[in-house]
Every structure is written in structure tokens, then in C-alpha cells.
Chain A
């Protein structure tokens, strides 16, 4: 652009091509392998020539494995998590950005702190809490034994959320990045807008519903899509929180295809499964790339 840069541009171009190859080659191998039959695969090992067995492989995945069911689970959990996270983020960021008063900074700090420690680090005790969500009530009730003194016996409520959609989804919502992004976005909205609303006699809830939400439709959709994808690709929490095949999510289901005993694993089948598991979020990301990027980079300004 500025000086004669053709040599630098050539290096940059080579870097981009190398990057594209690095990202795309594994995906290409997945697709190629998924088109081969197990027998072909055993004979030729690794091959660059696509076979013609994709439909057979796909039919097998569809009928012989739990993946279709698990894909549906992923869609359900992804939907719950995306909606939930965006809804929680909207209300919290609205309270943090648009209201005067004490405690807003504290609330925001509580939310942002949750970004630093991922759920994976506290998996054991998160599991414990999910196994009995009433645990804090019991603890409070039995503190100093006042419940026992009043009712003759300690409080022992049980509310197990393991292996339910709620138990898989809600812990995945306990992370503040969505709120942080939305707070940044709300801060870019000109304050005159809300002032005008006050002058017009519009109350805070009405302003949120009638003005702020319609105005934020674009960023909210982008966030929702991003959060859907983030939930879809979760592995560790769905692995421990869902024990029955009926609640297992697709990514976990995919890794179960790996456990195949002694013989050489049926890689074509695995790769077909990988396509099924990866394609929905991949399509979303390829389509909404611009919006998602714009939504994410807002938070770094």
C-alpha cells in the first residue's frame, strides 16, 4: 500500500496460503475418509482419493449409532444455553449500564470474574451441586442446627438435575463473557436515547423492551449464534452431567465411536460421525462470520 511492497505481499500471501492449508487439510481428510468403506480403508490405509461410500457410511451412522438422537440433544441444549445466556446478559447488562446507584460495579465484577476460571477447573464440585441443587438451602437451614431445633431433624432436600436438559444447560450459562460483550455494546449507545425516553415518560422496562431490544437485534442474534456454537462444542461438562444415552450430546457421542475394542477402528464411520457433529455449527459460523466477528471484537475495544 505504502511503499513498493510486492515482496512483503508475497510473503504474506504465502503465510495465508499455509494457514488456509493448515486449517482446511484436516477437514478435507475427514471428508475423504468419510467417503471410503471400512474394507477400502483397511486395504489402502490413508488415501487421498475419495471413495463412493459416503451414503452407506452416513446411513450406518444414522441407524446404528445414537448420534442422530444426540445431535438433537445438542440442538436442544445449544438452544437453551444460547437463549438463556443472552437473556441473562441482557437483563444484567441493562442493570449495570443504564441505572444509577450502588452495587453496579460489584455486580459487574462478580460477573467478569467468572470468565477467568472455566467450568472445567471445578468440574468435581459443579457436579456435586448439580446432583443436589437444594444443597445451599440445606446448608443454611442446618447452620447452627436451628432447623433441627424447630422441626426435629435436619433439613435434607434433594433436587438432582444430573441427566436432565436443565442440569446440562444451566451450569454452561454460569460464565460472564456474554454479559461483558453486551455491556460494552450498551455503553456505545448514545445516552441521549434513554434521556429522550425519560422525557417522553417511558419507564425503564418499557425502554428496554420497546427501544433497546429492537435496537440491539443484530448484536443479540450474533451473540446468540456464538453462544449456541460455544455450547455445542462443550465436551467435559456434558460428559459428566449426562449419563444416559438419551441425554448425551453429539460431541460426546462422537468420542464414544472411538471406543471400539481390539480391531483397527472404523475410521470412515468415525469421520462420517465427525461430519454430522461438526457441520451444523460450521455452517452457522461460515454464514454469520461477519456478524459474529463484529460482535466479538466489540468487547475488546
Chain B
């Protein structure tokens, strides 16, 4: 419903100006600057910049380290958002049934929203510590059973478990609201048509949940990236052997530790284009499968 009630030429612009200024300074300008530095080289000892064309891209794309990092980033985005959405979906489906536990679950499942990714990283790296944590006893029985410090698979499992823990709330809230918006009559009609609960899940609930699933997928893919920094900085620092050195973390190290402004900006551009492409892909291909009829 559009309201469009007041007529005024300048007032709406004055009203939106503060937000537009903030967005310009800290959203659009940084994007533009990243593009600027991706094509320029900062001159040593400050002062001035030099246009270098595609030189920065050639340098970045020529390094194996970048490709490892980009691959790890894609893998992480897909698996982290996949695991967290699946978990939240299962929990939402369970909480949608009016059980005695549901109200408690609905409250508790959004608590992780109050915990920063870095805090939960500190906590899980302790809980999953191979020598001091809950899995330490198993390590004593079978040495090497669990060692996220050296075993890449274990490292990723640790990251995904932690990410799922942290990412449940938002996804859970959206999906549960979507499930509860499906009219009870449709379940009844389905039951009358001979469709059991399991079949109704596939034939009725999931198709009608596609708008929420779409929103959640789009947001979770971006969120898994931004949340990854807190986890990696506190849990793996990019290790073992650079296997979890995701682009977000690599850009941070290149820019703030190695002071390679142009290299970091170039990778920023690549990462932003990657995320924009994924979002675009989702809009063009996934959104077609969304049922907006209600």
C-alpha cells in the first residue's frame, strides 16, 4: 500500500538527507575509493597516487594465495549459509508445531543474537580445544580424533558449528514467521486430500515458505561473510596453513598488517563484485522459483 499523501517539493529531501549523507560517506564513498585504489598505486612515503591500469589486478590474480583464499571464501559462503539455514529450518518446523516446549524454544533460539561472533569464537575455541575442551577425553582414547589446529576438515567443522550457533536466530525468526503465516485451513485441506504431514511439508509448507527462504538465503550469504571475520580472527587466524584465510580476513591482513593498500583495495573490489554477482544470480534464478501468491 502506497500512502503518497503529503505534497512537498523539498521537505522529503531534507528528511532523507541525513541518511543519504551517512550512506554516501560510509557506504558509497568507500566503494568508490576501493575502485579508485584498485586502479592506482599509492606512492611510497605517502602523498599522491599513480594510475596503473590493470596492474594491481594482474598482481593479485597472479598470486596462488589469492586463489586459495577466493576458493575458501566461496566454499565457506555456500557451506556456512547452507548449514545454518538447514538447521534453522528444521528448528522452525519443529517449533511450528504447538508443543509445550515451543514457547521456550522460541525465546532461547534467539539468544545467540546477543553474542558477538568474536565472543562466541572465543567461547567455542575453548570448548572445542583439543586438549582442554569437551572433546579432550576422546582425544585421549583415540589420539588425533579431534584436532582443529592441524586438520583442515576439523577446522572447518569447528567454524561451521560455531557459525550455525551464531546464525540461528535471524533465520529461525523469519522462517518460523513464514510457517505460521500459512493458514491452518491449508493443512486441513491437505489432510482432507489425503496428504500426510510429511507429504504436506513438501507439497504445501516448503513451496509456501519460498519467499522467506529466498530472503534468508540472500541475507545469510552476505552475513556469513561478515560474521566470518570475528570467528576466524578468534579461532584460526587463517590457519592451519592459510586454509581458512578467507578474503575478508586476507584483505584485513594485507591492508592493516602489510600496508598494501592497492592490493587490499583490489581484492575488496573483487570480493564486492563476487557478492554482487551472487546476489544478482539469486535474484535472477532463485527468485523465479518463489511463490508470492498467498
Q: Which A residues fall within an 8 A CB radius of B? A: 1-3, 5, 8-9, 11-13, 15-17, 19-20, 22-24, 26-27, 29-30, 33, 45-46, 87-89, 91-92, 94-101, 103-104, 107, 110-111, 114-130, 133, 135-136, 170-171, 173-176, 179, 186-189, 191, 194-195, 198, 204-205, 207, 229, 232-236, 239-240, 251-252, 254-255, 257-258, 264, 267, 270-271, 274, 277-278, 281-282, 284-286, 289, 292-293, 296-297, 300-301
Contacts and interface: CB of A to CB of B under 8 A. Distances in A.
Contact of A188 (B1, B109, B121, B173): B1
A26 B6 contact: no
Contacts of A29: 123, 126-127, 134
Given A254-B119, A274-B119, A99 B8 contact: yes
Interface of B: 1-9, 11-13, 15-16, 18-20, 22-31, 33-34, 37, 90-91, 93-95, 97-99, 101-102, 104-124, 126-127, 131-134, 136, 165, 168, 170, 173-174, 177-178, 181, 184, 187-188, 191, 196-197, 211-212, 215, 218-219, 222-223, 225-226, 229-230, 233-234, 248, 251-252, 255-256, 261, 264-265, 268, 271-272, 275-276, 279
B126 A235 contact: no
A266 to B, nearest CB: 11
A130 B118 CA distance: 23
A211 B238 CA distance: 52
A50 to B, nearest CB: 16
A114 B279 CA distance: 13
Residue among B230, B255, B261, B272 with the highest chain A CB neighbour number at 10 A:
B230
Contact of B25 (A23, A136, A188, A285): A136
23 contacts: A5-B197, A16-B102, A30-B123, A88-B19, A95-B13, A103-B12, A117-B275, A118-B222, A119-B226, A121-B226, A124-B256, A125-B29, A130-B26, A170-B22, A194-B5, A232-B116, A234-B116, A235-B116, A236-B248, A240-B256, A255-B118, A285-B111, A296-B174
